[in-house]
Amino acid sequence: MTGKTHIVGGLAAALISVQYEPTLDPFLVLPFATLGSLLPDICHSGSKIGRKLPVLARLIRIFFGHRTMTHSLLFLIIIGYLGYRFVPYSDLTTGLMIGIISHLILDAATKQGIKLLFPLSMSIKLPITTHTGSRTEKLIRHLLSLYIIVQSLFLFHHLLPITVG
């Protein structure tokens, strides 16, 4: 999936999470879910995040390859362990994890699948898949965007009550 779709997926996942878990702080969860939604593609030097950190992207690609370690449960566990242990705001780590999970789900919906069980080499994909950049991906992105707009209006209306008149 493209970076744009991952951002939209991460934001939608964050909004669903804060809706069902009101103790989560949306001002931490939303931005860090967005960051997390791009993080797994650090293994790809042409990705949005890979272009920002080209040396790290190259190293990860050399050591692990594309869509392997950073698209696995192992990566999720490492980020979760480091985040909850060393970062004082747990919602920040939760946001990051939500974004990473949304990324893994979206990439598992591509023909290539992901190496979810890395270091095992088997590819895992959802029963229904599509190509990156396809019309189906565009449709998914538009539907998720619509959900984000509607859900944000509800959420921020509650958080920042605006009085009219």
Q: Smaller CB distance to Zn ion: residue 30 or 66? A: 66
Neighbours of 51 (CB within 10 A): 12
Q: Give the shortest CB-40-to-Zn ion separation in angstroms.
A: 5
Q: Give the shortest CB-96-to-Zn ion separation in angstroms.
A: 15
Q: Give the shortest CB-105-to-Zn ion separation in angstroms.
A: 11
Q: Smaller CB distance to Zn ion: residue 77 or 159? A: 77
Q: Smaller CB distance to Zn ion: residue 91 or 137? A: 137
Q: Is 48 exposed, middle or buried (0-12, 13-18, 19+ CB in 10 A)?
A: middle
Greatest Cα pair distance, the chain, in angstroms, is: 61
Q: Smaller CB distance to Zn ion: residue 18 or 141? A: 141
43, 63 in Cβ contact below 8 A? no
Residue ranges that bind Zn ion, judged by CB under 5 A:
40-41, 107
Q: Give the shortest CB-19-to-Zn ion separation in angstroms.
A: 25
1, 132 in Cβ contact below 8 A? yes
Secondary structure (3-state) at 75: helix
